Structure 1
């Protein structure tokens, strides 16, 4: 009898431990109920202790219902998969007093209809970022973690810029109703205590008494009805034309089909001239219209030859090469940067003209 009682107690303790285990809890990144390192339970709990009513939502219908009763609320939006469409995003902007979007992609930014757009990522060598602006919240928060952050530009207010030429990890509209945070680490349980992350997160999310913590799901994907089939999209004459084209293609194959002859044995190794390899690769680029790849190869080759000519060493960066060339040909470094690094040919004719320009520059630098 005693063994049965002990067994029942152990089984009860095991069931209770499993029920309270974090493995059975919320695992969504930046969820207000997720205690894991990538969750944001700590941020939500601190906001609640400071008097902010945090309402969690995982559907657009629930969010709009809450905003109908609390029009002055702030909406925290983390749509990492881009589920929401333009109509839904515009509805959130109109219904909420403020919308804070974390690490939005192109689809989300386009749907919001603002001028804010992506500007790259924070360099791996940058661990912290200074505010670099006069906006009240970033100025009070000070330095924050830049690890894994995204940069945005085009906003009236841009803060936390790695350099003057980059976008910022904090972007806001002029009226402050739309704020874009480019890093999930600012609110995560793992890095909330680092630098001024907590201060920036709390000041950005806590200006109003009510906060709707919204993480969209698959159920929020807008439905446009049943998509049309191929038969509905195609005109009536496609059926006859398709059959006729199939017959013509079969006749062409029988007429022009390649007939293989006997195998020819050739001793190895086969020596291929370098010029033939270069021409073959050039033809592949031309056939695939890979203008960008061809331009990158020309740019890399020019920089390599210039670095070798000026004896800068194999580890010399593009900026060092540009400085050496600028001093040699007596031209502004910014002009050379625009020509050699930043110019992106879009057509084959532009590629030819650009290749001639950088070849002339290389000849000038080497000749003098």
Structure 2
């Protein structure tokens, strides 16, 4: 047999050419060398191409990234709890939606607007009574969404907080003569709050409703932000109620107070303001008691003793400690189950039954080995001692049975 001069491969121990590394197709190597040589020759062009591709990817990623924020009920939030959809609808109806970020900017927008409407959602109760009074006096109409108790009290409009909408009322009927509520019809009630005073609509029981309008009509309190949110805006009459309440003026100031307004207004209360008067005397007394406790229990009782770790604990000590715990807690049933399970595992290993052996298999094998009736052994192993004395006697009987099996 003749071998080609261009074939330099040698057969392996079994005479197979496929067992050697040279079995890889030889056409792949010249192509790889040509590609590497082309990269070295045009490395400047290659680097420029990589930079251009990275820049394009960055630009495309920036353009495709979602715009806006994640603030609840923000007109820039396109999430389920945002109000971007309502802002777009109001804009298409000719309403200029202003979104000031600070209290001063909101006040300026109200004073420079044409009979402006103010939407206020102060979910953290940041604004105080002077700030709320200034905003209400500068606005032609005010819509307050889910105000806190402090905010409702500071409004001083005769509207009071009256609880929450029960879970059994996911949809609420207008139930009043207010034109906005009558035109909108049913709205979402789940998760809302109810208020009493003025003209109340969307009532669940009594006089309290999810929408309360002051007697002069300038102030409206809406107890459910879901009516204005993106998630529920297209359901029932939510959109109609939102547009009618907020779209009557050409200028709408959409103001969501933030923590930045706390430093400006100074309305936030410190822990010292919230603490009762007697807390000022309790603090020094607690410090004195703590120092006395440190002096009493913190003294040294001699030099430190170093003990090598890990500490080896004998198995018998562990067993005795667990037995004492069972005794203290009167856990007769738990102790019985542990003794029975341990006996069956050891007997199964001695009788070479394997890990899948059941209790009945172990009992039958032990009876055959000892030449005894399986009924007696089964009755002994499955017994449920009712007292501690019987538990001790039963465990001794199990120990005797185990010794008999182990000695065979």
Q: Under TM normalisation by the shorter chain, which class is it?
A: 0.5 to 0.7
Partner of 2:363: none
Alignment equivalent of 1:157, drawn from 170, 193, 199: 199
In the other structure, the counterpart of 2:86 is 43
Structure 2 residue corresponding to 1:104, chosen from 122, 147, 150: 147
By how many angstroms is 1:4 displaced? 4.4
For normalisation by structure 2, the TM-score amounts to 0.54
Q: Is the 8 A contact 1:63 1:212 kept in 2?
A: yes
Q: Which runs of 4+ in 1 moved over 4 A?
A: 1-6, 21-24, 224-230, 266-270
Aligned residues: 252
Query: How big is each residue's C-alpha offset from its partner over 1:153-196, in whole Å with a ceiling of 9 and x where there is no partner?
Result: 1x22100112x326211110012110011111111111110000
Q: Residue 74 of structure 1 aligns with which residue?
A: 117
- Equivalent of residue 98 in structure 2, options 55, 69, 73: 55
From 58, 61, 85, the counterpart of 2:128: 85
What is the distance in 2 between the residues matched to 1:146 and 1:225?
A: 31
Separation of aligned partners in 2, 1:144 and 1:31: 20
Classify 1:66/1:127 alpha carbon distance in 2 versus 1 (closer, same or farther; 3 Å).
Answer: same
Taking the TM superposition and a 5 Å limit, the aligned residue runs for 1:108-147 are 108-147=151-190
- Given that 1:186 and 1:197 are in contact with CA atoms closer than 8 Å, whether structure 2 keeps it comes out as yes
Structure-1 separation of matches of 2:268 and 2:101: 23
Distance 1:142 1:227 in 2: 44
| Residues 18, 24 of structure 1: 8 Å contact kept | no
Structure 2 gaps of 5+ residues are: 1-41, 297-326, 332-408
- For the pair shown, which has the larger CA radius of gyration, 1 or 2? 2
Cα–Cα, structure 1 residues 228 and 211, in superposed 2: closer, same or farther, change >3 Å?
closer
- Please tell me whether the aligned partners of residues 71 and 96 of structure 1 are also in contact (alpha carbons under 8 angstroms): no
Query: How far did residue 7 of structure 1 move?
Result: 3.5
Structure 1 spans left out of the alignment, 5+ residues: 254-265, 271-368
Q: Per the alignment, do residues 12 and 125 of structure 1 end up closer, same or farther by CA in structure 2, a change over 3 Å counting?
A: farther
Q: Which residue of 1 aligns with 2:20?
A: none
Pairwise CA distance, 1:268 = 6.2
1:219 aligns with 2:260: yes
Residue deviations 1:84-134, cap 9 Å, x none?
011101111111001101111101101111221222212222221111111
The TM-score, its normalising length taken from structure 1, stands at 0.60
Q: Structure 1 residues 269 and 19, CA, compared in 2 at 3 Å: closer, same or farther?
A: same
Cα distance, 1:242–1:149 mapped onto 2, change above 3 Å: closer
Partner SS, residue 58 of structure 2: helix
Between 1 and 2, higher relative CO (CA 8 Å, sep ≥ 6) is seen in: 1
User: Do the aligned partners of residues 125 and 211 (structure 1) sit closer, same or farther apart at CA in structure 2, a change above 3 Å counting?
Assistant: same
